[in-house]
A and B are shown apart, each in its own frame.
Chain A
Amino acid sequence: MARLTVDDANDTWGAYYYILALDQLRRVGLLQAAVDRLTLAKLRVRLDWRTFVDADDFTLIDHPNNYYCVALGIARLRMRMGWEDGAGAHRIYDKIVDHYRQYSGDYGFADETDGEGRFDRYSVLLSAELAHHFVETNDRPPPEVLVWLRKSAEVMLSRLHEDGTGFEYGRSLGPYSETAIIEVLTVAATLPFTTSNFRLFQFTQVLIYAIALLGLNMLTGYNGQISLGHGAFYAIGAYTTAIMIDRWNIGYGWTLPTAGVVCLVVGFLFGRPALRLEGLYLALATFALALSVPQILKYFEHWTGGSQGIVLSKPKPPFRLPLNEDQWLYFLTLAVALVLFVLARNLLGGRVGRAVVAVRDNHIAAEAMGINNSLYKSVVFGVSAAYTGIAGALSAVVIAYVAPDSFDIFLSITLLTGIVIGGLATISGAIFGAVFIQFVPNWAQDISKAAPWAIFGIFLIVFMYVMPRGIAGFCRLVWIRLTRPPVTREEAGETRHHAPPRRDAPPST
């Protein structure tokens, strides 16, 4: 079959497909049997990137930018076949990176021209092809390629129906565009920043949100300090973990408590001056924190990777456990969540918890009872920040990527929404709230693609109208109604005549 076509025209993509086929035959030991020596010698000359890239200055000959990627694929495969060394592949890759850096701006999508602004499907697809050329030659893509690929995958994922039934468009995009989506997602799925089991990933995210909401609920629900800035602590926790893993090669297990301690200290220090503020003024101060942290993260580019963020690898399950990475991360998050929930329950259910609530309900009376208001407020701020920081750290490990734009003010508002919907000053409310903020926006999008946030707003209003004390409060009410023994007519009559004074009734004078 090779002899049948060896003298036909076979340009660029054709050469790439051909050498890829030869390399696959070589890998399984069938190359010698499939292609005779003379034909192979001819193919070695013809299947060459130099037919469309100038070998002296490495400029493309009459082809748009994406053909550098084809050249890279051929050069790397020629290297694998033993037909050339890696110098050509290196030079071509450098040209691609230079082009990306010079013309792609902050968004990271490739311009097909030298800065004239031609962005088409290849602008998104190119990162996947680049990554693919490394993967197919048993190599790991460089970090910048993973950053570009992640952005492409996010564009593609946002176009898909979550149930796997296709794209959001009502008609075909055409074979090239649809295969582009499939190619980006296929390559992304083989690399460590997408999940093979999306539902499990969502449930892991629910647990992470539950930890963060529990932290915020300690502060706002139990202690009465309104925070619009907990997204900042979430970000600090996430970046602490990402920097420790990426820059210092520290195991992720060590980074989780470290992120908690860092956030505890930052939260405590922020809580001290915030003691002078209450109510809306404190909310405004924390709002400023949420606004400033993403900007600060972009500023310290050397540590944080700037707006490109930091790409991590998903950790493998230890002890040869028969779990995939997503399952392991789910159980790890579940274990951390269990420990933190038990700790929170013990803390809030005892003397400290009563003091925290007393400070919320009447700080003058609490002070008179010997409670150190300022200490309790600062410590609660710190512990609350620590919980949120640990949630952020887990999120960095699970998503395997951090970027400043993931921690904008919207995250802080979402967390606040979660505790109000779940139920203020309740432990279980954190779980209900986490389920709400993880799934309801998706349902809203399923109901209306045009105005998902309007639908989300309607959900919020309905929930608040039906369950003014949150889902946890509603469940408690239903439970009391269901378990209260039925009142007989005689008891009811007796109660009417000899009703004991209500606990919350004002003392009779």
Chain B
Amino acid sequence: MTRLFAAAVLVAAFCLPSLAEAAATAILPYNETVQSKLQPQLEALLIGLVRDGRSLTIDGIPVFNGKDKFLPGKIAISLVEFILSLPPEDPRQ
């Protein structure tokens, strides 16, 4: 019985890393949420900004209304994030 138990423990012990990895990958990775939800929204906003410039509105409200004192920084970091997420061969880069 002792040998059987020891064998079972050893087999389980050596299989654990791969089992644990499989369990971890079963949960939807957070970056998938970012890629599937956040990035398309970001792209749409940036395309709107390029198209409309300072007259851009979101839901009828002007974006450049002077109320957001961090806005230039937000636009810059979003734009760079978008550019760097493009594949190297993409002409938009």
* Chain A residues engaging chain B, CB cutoff 8 angstroms: 1-2, 4-6, 8-18, 20-22, 24-25, 28, 30, 34, 163-165, 182, 197-200, 203, 207, 327, 330-331, 334, 338, 428, 431, 475-476, 479, 483
Contact = CB atoms under 8 A, between A and B. Distances in A.
Contacts of B93: 30
Contact of A14 (B16, B30, B74, B83): B74
30 contacts: A1-B49, A1-B79, A5-B72, A8-B71, A9-B66, A9-B69, A10-B71, A13-B73, A14-B70, A16-B73, A17-B77, A18-B77, A20-B77, A21-B76, A21-B80, A22-B76, A24-B84, A28-B84, A34-B83, A164-B27, A165-B27, A182-B30, A197-B21, A199-B19, A203-B16, A330-B16, A334-B13, A334-B14, A428-B5, A428-B9
Contact of B77 (A21, A30, A431): A21
A164 B69 CA distance: 35
Which of A5, A165, A331, A483 neighbours the largest number of chain B CB atoms within 10 Å of its CB?
A5
B73 A17 contact: yes
B1 interface: yes
Given A10-B70, A163-B27, A2 B20 contact: no
Contacts of B61: none
Given A8-B64, A8-B72, A25 B80 contact: yes
Given A1-B50, A197-B21, A431-B9, 7 more contacts: A8-B71, A10-B71, A14-B72, A28-B84, A197-B17, A207-B13, A479-B1
A431 B10 CA distance: 12
A198 B77 CA distance: 32
Interface string B1-36: 110010001100110110111011001001000000
Interface residues of B, number: 36
Per DSSP, chain A at the interface is helix
B53 interface: yes
Given A20-B77, A163-B27, A200-B20, A30 B72 contact: no
A11 B71 CA distance: 9
Interface of B: 1-2, 5, 9-10, 13-14, 16-17, 19-21, 23-24, 27, 30, 49-50, 53-54, 64, 66, 69-77, 79-80, 83-84, 93
A169 B88 CA distance: 42
A21 to B, nearest CB: 4
Contact of B20 (A18, A30, A199, A476): A199
Contacts of B73: 10, 13-18, 21
A21 B46 CA distance: 15
Given A21-B80, A24-B84, A11 B69 contact: yes
B81 to A, nearest CB: 8
Nearest to B28: A164
B24 A198 contact: yes
B13 to A, nearest CB: 5
A20 B76 CA distance: 9
A17 B76 contact: yes
A357 B41 CA distance: 71
Given A21-B77, A327-B17, A428-B5, A30 B70 contact: no
A261 B20 CA distance: 33
Contacts of A197: 17, 20-21, 24
B58 to A, nearest CB: 16
B4 to A, nearest CB: 9
Contacts of B24: 197-199
A347 to B, nearest CB: 15
Contacts of B49: 1
Nearest to B4: A479
Contacts of A9: 66, 69
Contacts of A17: 70, 73-74, 76-77
A75 to B, nearest CB: 16
Nearest to B83: A30
Nearest to B80: A21
Contacts of A20: 77
Nearest to B29: A164
A18 B76 CA distance: 6
Contacts of A475: 5
